[in-house]
Amino acid sequence: MNEHVSILGLGAMGRALASALLAAGREVTVWNRTPGKAGGLGAREASSVEEAIEAGDLTVVCLLDDASVRETLAPVAPKLDGATLVNLTSGSARQARRLAGWLDGHGVRLLAGGIMAVPPTVGTDGAFILYSGARDLFDRVAPVLAPIGRPQWVGADPGFAALYDMAALSGMYGMSAGADHAVTMVHREGGDVEAFKREVLGPWMEQMLPFMVGGADMSESVPEEYNPAMQATGLENMLAASQEAGVPEDLAGHLRASLWRMRRAAA
C-alpha cells in the first residue's frame, strides 16, 4: 500500500500518527502552523497547507478543534477540488456534518474520524479509529491508515464518528470523575491514597466495568437481579460520605475544577 499520506497538525497526536505511518513504510508529508515541529520524524515538511495537500493521495487533518480546521482549510478550500481528506480532529457530530457539507461544496471527499487512542497507544493492538462517511471512501482509506489503529466504520452519516467518539469520552470522563472523587475522599479523611488505588479502587472498577457498560441502557425496565431500592440508598450513602469528607458531591464538577486548576498551573 504505497499511498502517500499528508498530515496537517503536528501536536502530540499528529506526531504519533506520522510516526506510526512512517514505521509502516508510508511516504508522509507533514505541515504544522508553527514550523519546525517535524524534527526527528523523518517526514517531509511542507511549507504550506496547499503544498502538503497536493503532495498526498490523502490528507489527515489532526488539529486542536473544529475552529482550527476551518481556519486552516478556508484559505485553500477553493483549490481543493478532487482532494481526499480524513479529519481526525475531535469535535461534535454537528460540526462534522457541517464540515463535510462545506468541503463537499468544494469538491472534496471527506471521511470523518474519531481517534480511540492516546499518543503512546497509536499503532498498538488496542488502538482503533472510528470513521464515518461514504463506505467506498472508507474501503479505500482503511488499509492506508490501518497502521495508526484498527479502522472501524460506524456509518454513512459523517457525524457518527464524532458522536461515538464524544459519547465514549463521556464514559471515560465519567469513570475519571468517579476515580478522582474517590481518591479525594480518601485523601481528605487521611487514608493511604496509593494503597487505596492499588488494592481497592483498581480491582473494584475492573470488577464492575462489564456491569457498568452492559447495564447502561435507555429503558426503564429493571433487571431481575437488580435491586433499585438498595442502589438508590447506596448512592445516597456515598453522597453523604462525600459531604462528610468535605468533597463536593457533583462528580463531574469536581473533575472539571481539578482539570482547570491543572491547566492554569501548566500555563
Give the residues lining the site for ligand FVH (CB under 6 A).
9-14, 32-34, 37, 62-65, 68, 71-72, 89-90, 115, 118-119
Q: Which is nearer to ligand FVH, 5 or 247 (CB)?
A: 5
**How far is residue 115's CA from residue 99's CA, in Å, rounded to a whole number?**
17
Q: Which is nearer to ligand FVH, 9 or 184 (CB)?
A: 9
Q: Which cell numbers in the block locate residue 76?
A: 485553500
Other Cβ atoms within 10 Å of 54 Cβ, number: 16
Least distance in angstroms from the C-beta of 231 to ligand FVH: 32
Q: Answer yes or no: are the C-beta atoms of 7 and 17 closer than 8 Å.
A: yes
Q: Which is nearer to ligand FVH, 127 or 247 (CB)?
A: 127
Least distance in angstroms from the C-beta of 6 to ligand FVH: 14
Sign of the alpha-carbon torsion through 159, 161, 162, 168 = positive
Query: Which pairing describes strands 27-31 and 4-8: parallel, antiparallel, or unpaired?
Result: parallel
Least distance in angstroms from the C-beta of 140 to ligand FVH: 23
Least distance in angstroms from the C-beta of 7 to ligand FVH: 10
Q: Which is nearer to ligand FVH, 34 or 219 (CB)?
A: 34
Sheet of 58-61, strands arranged across: 44-45, 27-31, 4-8, 58-61, 84-87, 109-116, 128-132, 150-153
- Cα distances (Å, whole numbers) of residue 77 to 54, 99, 118: 12, 11, 29
Q: Which is nearer to ligand FVH, 71 or 189 (CB)?
A: 71
For ligand FVH, the nearest residue by Cβ is 11
Least distance in angstroms from the C-beta of 38 to ligand FVH: 11
**How far is residue 228's CA from residue 226's CA, in Å, rounded to a whole number?**
6
Q: Which is nearer to ligand FVH, 22 or 193 (CB)?
A: 22
Least distance in angstroms from the C-beta of 221 to ligand FVH: 34
